[in-house]
Structure 1
């Protein structure tokens, strides 16, 4: 059987190959064909009808050939690609949401699609807390001042030193694999954690030590810090706009390490520029990278990083290992653990 390992510069093809060998045995006898896509050195984006993809359709078609299985993170698996790969029977996407796959077309062509849920949950949760603290404790500003040769003693004044997590109320929008980990970490810091997630089960909420609220508005009115952990859907796009941000107490901090389009960036800039918001931390953006004329580039008290929350070496290994395990189940005729189509 031929397997396409359509990796990139994070989850490389040889990492997929090594995990396949660990699952199937070094002498498994299957052909593993490598393809290296340009992400993250080139940002992902829409390709034809799918989102957050890397590379192009013709490259994927040529690489697939008669492959029966495809492992990838970002490869565009569009209707055109699926129609051009009649031997393909399984696509495993090494990420939580297979948005780079046309699921309807896959179903029409009899191609099963799996994802790798939770592979970056710990990394993203760690990064979220780090971004929260960086924004609250003014880490970027003070580091930049010292690097420039200035001892910024004014950041020890009451007006400039920033708030802490101990005793703060932090509102989490979403309590899935990432949000629940963030909740547990914040509880350990001494924060009071509120969660708005109409889909979270009671057992998960109990485990986090957080308290559930019934509406987003209730969460926002009570939160010194709000952090987004929802998936981007038609329902959640623009979830925090000008109206919602206005519900936050004066001096609140906004954190988004989920998806950029959850947040109205202009409304956020308004809040930062007016001084009503004490700070914000963004790892994701509506357009990546933000355009040269984006207001985000000049907004005060804003920490920005280039979509790195889910990037550590353990995540790459997790993605490849979970994906390889699905291939093992497929070959043994067992039910797939993370099938979405």
Structure 2
């Protein structure tokens, strides 16, 4: 079975290939492309799906369509899998998107063709929850401000004063709006700090 992995600077194709080899075993013929188009300054971030039926993508469907003719499994991160690409992949059996949602895949066109689309919901939930708690600590304890002051060559004794040390998280109440994958993981971490949790999930 022929597999094309289109990775980029964020998700390296070699990472996906090693995982697929481990999980699916031998018998797969891999080809990988590092999609140079997918850079922060080149991504098309559109709130609504474009006329191509996809959003948050980079590069052109024409470039990808030229690569997929005999591909049976197509795995992408930021490349646009449009109707044109799906039609060009004559032997396509499944599309994998290594993102939390397949926004850069025309799921409607894939469904009409009978090609399932798989993706990775909650892929970065652990990292986002960690970062959220990290920012809470940094803000509460003036870590970023004190660090910036020290880097600029000033030793601010004011940050040693009790009133400027900032509050401890223990015993404080954390309000979480949205209790999905990330919100739940933030709550678990906050509870470990001894915080009280209030949740609103609209």
Shared fold (TM-score greater than 0.5)? yes
CA contact (8 A) 1:173 1:197 kept: yes
Root mean square deviation of aligned Cα: 2.1
In structure 2, the residue matched to 1:112 is 116
In structure 2, the residue matched to 1:12 is 12
In structure 2, the residue matched to 1:30 is 28
In structure 2, which of residues 168, 171, 189 is the aligned counterpart of residue 167 of structure 1? Answer: 171
Q: TM-score, normalised by structure 1?
A: 0.53
In structure 2, the residue matched to 1:61 is 65
* Residue 23 of structure 1: how far off its partner (Å): 2.1
> C-alpha distance in 2, partners of 1:130/1:181?
13
Greater relative contact order structure (CA < 8 Å, 6+ sep): 1
Q: Is residue 2:145 matched to residue 1:147? A: no
Unmatched 5+ stretches in structure 2: none
Once the two structures are superposed, residues 85-113 of structure 1 have per-residue CA deviations (whole angstroms, 9 ceiling, x without a partner) of 23222111112211111211211222210
In structure 2, the CA distance between the partners of 1:123 and 1:53, relative to structure 1 (3 Å rule), is same
Once the two structures are superposed, residues 39-75 of structure 1 have per-residue CA deviations (whole angstroms, 9 ceiling, x without a partner) of 3555532474322223321221122222111112222
Runs of 4+ in 1 over 6 A off after TM superposition: none
In structure 2, the CA distance between the partners of 1:160 and 1:40, relative to structure 1 (3 Å rule), is farther
In structure 2, the residue matched to 1:208 is none
> C-alpha distance in 1, partners of 2:118/2:112?
16
Q: Is residue 2:92 matched to residue 1:88? A: yes
Q: TM-score, normalised by structure 2?
A: 0.86
In structure 2, the residue matched to 1:339 is none
* Residue 158 of structure 1: how far off its partner (Å): 5.7
Unmatched 5+ stretches in structure 1: 199-341
In structure 2, the residue matched to 1:213 is none
